[in-house]
Amino acid sequence: MHESKSSAGSSKASEEEARIKPLVFYGSIIGIALFSLWAMFFTDAAGSLINSVLAWISSGFGWFYFLAVVAYLVFVIVVAISKYGDIKLGPDHAEPEFNVVTWAAMLFSAGIGIDLIFYCIVEPLTQFMAPPVGEGGSVEAARHAMELTFLHWGLSGWGVYTLVGMALAFFSYRHGLPLTIRSSLYALFGKRINGSLGNAVDIAAVLGTVFGVATSLGIGIIQLNFGLKYMFGVPEGTLTQAILAIFIVVFSAISAATGVERGIRRLSEFNMLLAVLLMLFVLVTGKTRFLLDAFVTNLGDYLQNFIQLSFNTYPFDPPTDWLNAWTLFFWAWWIAWGPFVGMFLARISRGRTIRSFVTGTLILPFTFMAAWMGIMGNSAIDMVMGGAVEFGQAAVQNPGSAIYKFLEQMPWTWMTTIVVTILSIVFFVTSGDSGSLVLSNLTCRIDDPNHDAPPWMRIVWAAIIGVITVALLMTGGLSALQGAVVIMGLPFTFVLILMMLSMLRALRLEGLKTASMQDALSGHLSGRMSREGASNWTRRLSRAISFPTFKQVEQFIERTVRPAFEDVRKKLEEGGYPVQINGDSGDQLHLSLDVDLGGEVDFSYQVWPRQCSMPAFTLLAEKPRSSYYRLEPHLREGGLTYDLMGYSREQVIGDIVDHFEAHLQYLHMRRELSSRTPGEEGQPGAS
């Protein structure tokens, strides 16, 4: 359906548009409040229970996490390279809102954030000095350490984000459903997503998001606390970390209130630039040739051994503590962040094709991650192998100090320390504001997927994220943060599987639309030939070399298109079909013929003027103009590419009938498919 160009810019929903989902909002708040109070006042019991549940999940569901993450990645790649890859995440005429550079920056900042700074030194050194199997400190341990680092930060995790973002953007922007997790299950459950099932899915998404973002902020606060102690002597401890959490929440709330177009976008671009500069500084001032050689080797090792790494659960001599702290934690963490980052990716990706979306969300962040981890991680490992063993031990024993201890070994330490601190703070804000924006949208009933929840709701969720972060830090620091994420990620793992099945069914139905148009093509062509006739070639040629003004388009709509719509409406109403003709004038001039088909997908045929640049080959007698207008038809799926200007009334009627016949053929094929697939209900866009 056509939208004005400014729709994306007006992203804030009005108070009337944004209504709280009571069960989702209050249910999530109660659950979070109870956990936070319990963790703060019964700290030992909370820590003990988290560890017990973590051990149960690790022993019973570890294999499931491994299989699920691989399945998500394979699914999105297969969809992208299939015939469905050309489908747009939005109407067929939609164009991307953000350019590639800005889009990549927002992917990077929202999807990775502070954790990349925290783990870029800690993980390579830990896997090198204390690997899950084998002897630490060797050349083989160094290569395997970077393999594991690439695994945990590579394509597998981004497959989770891509799946959620693709499903949400597809159902919301292409089929007009609200931008919530429940919408991604519409093709499976139909209108039942508006009941208790949808509420349960959204609550699971809210809880996973809250704990995922809180874990990220908690890890960042631990690191920032050490940085402030390192630079200014600020003491480490829960009180300092709580104060830092309050400051981060305030800045996150301010940024979130300004919306995607300003606050989040600008901060993301700034942070990406700063991170690239720091990475290049380490590359240039360090052992440049060694780092480039090591990066190529790491990339080759990762790609060559990807399947073996992805399925290695260490069954014969399981390093349980290592699995819980690393691979299982990372898989659960990516999944817990799935609704948050996936919804944010959907929010910024309207108008891209499925293929370009999958390619971009997998390759762009992975490329930066591989370069960042390769340069920083190999530099740290080389320092330890060169004799800086104390640095390595200090970084592993106190992870929050790792990046600062690393920069001590580099020139211009004072400058790089300031840069890392700024990066950490801005990463805090981009993660916090993106999280509060997504949580607000999840807990509000917003019909227009282009709109976001009002600022006050984002501020509320920013505060809630701060509270849960402090509660987890009080419970046991890093280990409690990791354990909570593994636990909260498990329910959403099953939601993602349902999401894949829903996308499969929806894409099959999307294919039926194309097939139905092809089935109706012969009648379409024969009808057009009979309408135009061989003697009308002069009329067709006149249309081809005509470049009308907006006023001429307006007159054509009133004199030809509207009477054609009226004729079609009269005939359909005689057959018992409710039909409405709607339209606007002025800059948004258009006309719409909408046919209510009851419980089936309604039919809509619209005409919209489109301004185009005047071609250089035109020979106009009148004063030259820079632009002209085409009148293009639009269906539910978006704009078509041909021009109606110059059609006769009968030809316009014929075009409407062609598409109406194709739509009825699609409905027939969908019913046939449903009869072969018992239990199928509903269709995206039917409501």
Closest CA to 48 of 476, 473, 471: 476
122 and 207 inside one domain: yes
Average pLDDT value for residue range 227-244: 85
How many Å apart are CA 574 and CA 335, to the nearest integer? 54
- Residue 14 forms part of a structural domain: no
CB 443 within 8 A of CB 199: no
Scored b (16 or more CB within 10 A) or e, 605-619 reads bbbbbeeeeeeeeee
pLDDT above 60 for 220: yes
Per-residue model confidence as pLDDT tens digits over 399-438: 888 999 999 999 999 999 999 888 888 777 777 777 787 8
Looking at the chain, the whole-number percentage of residues with pLDDT higher than 70 is 85
455 and 325 inside one domain: yes
552 and 656 inside one domain: yes
Q: How confident is the model at residue 148 (pLDDT cuts 50, 70, 90)?
A: very high
Closest CA to 427 of 116, 149, 99, 150: 116
Least confident of 67-71, 356-360, 487-491: 487-491
Provide the β-strand partners of residue 627. Answer: 613
CB 24 within 8 A of CB 442: yes
Tokens 């035109």 map to which residue?
A: 618
**What was the pLDDT predicted at 475?**
72
- Residue 97 forms part of a structural domain: yes
Phi first, then psi: give them for residue 645, nearest 5 degrees.
-60, 130
179 and 238 inside one domain: yes
How many Å apart are CA 665 and CA 673, to the nearest integer? 12
Residue type, 549: T
Per-residue model confidence as pLDDT tens digits over 365-386: 899 899 999 999 999 999 999 9
**What was the pLDDT predicted at 322?**
92
How many Å apart are CA 615 and CA 610, to the nearest integer? 15
Per-residue model confidence as pLDDT tens digits over 666-686: 888 777 766 654 444 444 444
230 and 339 inside one domain: yes
616 and 500 inside one domain: no
CB 221 within 8 A of CB 473: yes
Per-residue model confidence as pLDDT tens digits over 525-556: 444 544 555 446 677 677 777 889 889 999 99
Q: How many CB atoms lie within 10 A of CB 492?
A: 26
Taking the CA atoms of the chain, what radius of gyration do you get in angstroms?
28
Average pLDDT value for residue range 250-254: 75
How many Å apart are CA 601 and CA 686, to the nearest integer? 4
Higher pLDDT, 3 or 660: 660
- Residue 625 forms part of a structural domain: yes
**What was the pLDDT predicted at 373?**
95
- Residue 136 forms part of a structural domain: yes
Q: How many CB atoms lie within 10 A of CB 538?
A: 8
pLDDT above 80 for 513: no
Per-residue model confidence as pLDDT tens digits over 90-124: 877 778 888 888 787 777 665 666 778 889 999 99
559 and 667 inside one domain: yes
- Residue 235 forms part of a structural domain: yes
Enter the tokens of residue 511.
């294919």
Structural domain count, the chain: 2
Enter the tokens of residue 103.
């889009």
Helix (H) or strand (E) holding 34: helix 22-41
Q: How confident is the model at residue 130 (pLDDT cuts 50, 70, 90)?
A: very high
Average pLDDT value for residue range 303-320: 92
**What was the pLDDT predicted at 261?**
52
Higher pLDDT, 342 or 542: 342
298 and 260 inside one domain: yes
**What was the pLDDT predicted at 662?**
84
631 and 526 inside one domain: yes
Q: How many CB atoms lie within 10 A of CB 651?
A: 19
- Residue 192 forms part of a structural domain: yes
DSSP-derived 3-state class of residue 268 = helix
| Residue 470: CATH number of its domain | 1.20.1740.10
Q: Which residue, 463, 484, 508, sits at the end of a domain? A: 508
Those residues whose C-beta lies under 8 Å from the C-beta of residue 31, and which sit 6 or more positions away, are: 203, 207
Phi first, then psi: give them for residue 627, nearest 5 degrees.
-150, 165
CB 426 within 8 A of CB 270: yes
- Residue 196 forms part of a structural domain: yes
Least confident of 226-235, 258-267, 560-569: 258-267
- Which residue segment(s) compose the domain that 604 sits in? 520-676
169 and 277 inside one domain: yes
CB 485 within 8 A of CB 329: yes
Closest CA to 350 of 172, 102, 606, 105: 172
pLDDT above 80 for 256: no
Q: How confident is the model at residue 170 (pLDDT cuts 50, 70, 90)?
A: very high
CB 446 within 8 A of CB 452: yes
Least confident of 248-262, 349-363, 480-494: 248-262
Higher pLDDT, 266 or 86: 86
pLDDT above 60 for 523: no
Mean pLDDT of the chain: 83
pLDDT above 50 for 638: yes
Average pLDDT value for residue range 516-524: 51
**What was the pLDDT predicted at 239?**
85
408 and 482 inside one domain: yes
Least confident of 294-298, 455-459, 574-578: 455-459
Closest CA to 94 of 357, 341, 343, 339: 357
Those residues whose C-beta lies under 8 Å from the C-beta of residue 394, and which sit 6 or more positions away, are: 401, 405
Tokens 């800059």 map to which residue?
A: 587
Provide the β-strand partners of residue 629. Answer: 611
pLDDT above 80 for 514: no
501 and 525 inside one domain: no
Closest CA to 388 of 407, 369, 414: 407
**What was the pLDDT predicted at 162?**
96
> DSSP string covering 289-304, please?
HHHHHHHHHHHHHHHH
Q: Which residue, 508, 539, 557, sits at the end of a domain? A: 508
Q: How many residues does the chain have?
A: 687
Phi first, then psi: give them for residue 75, nearest 5 degrees.
-60, -50
- Residue 87 forms part of a structural domain: yes
Least confident of 238-247, 443-452, 601-610: 443-452
**What was the pLDDT predicted at 534?**
46
The percent helix, strand, coil of the chain (3-state, each to 5) is 75, 5, 20
Q: Which residue, 454, 483, 508, sits at the end of a domain? A: 508
How many Å apart are CA 646 and CA 644, to the nearest integer? 6
pLDDT above 60 for 1: no
Q: Is the dihedral of CA 94, 99, 102, 104 positive or negative?
A: positive
Per-residue model confidence as pLDDT tens digits over 17-73: 557 888 999 988 888 888 888 877 888 888 788 888 888 888 888 899 999 999 999
Higher pLDDT, 448 or 383: 383
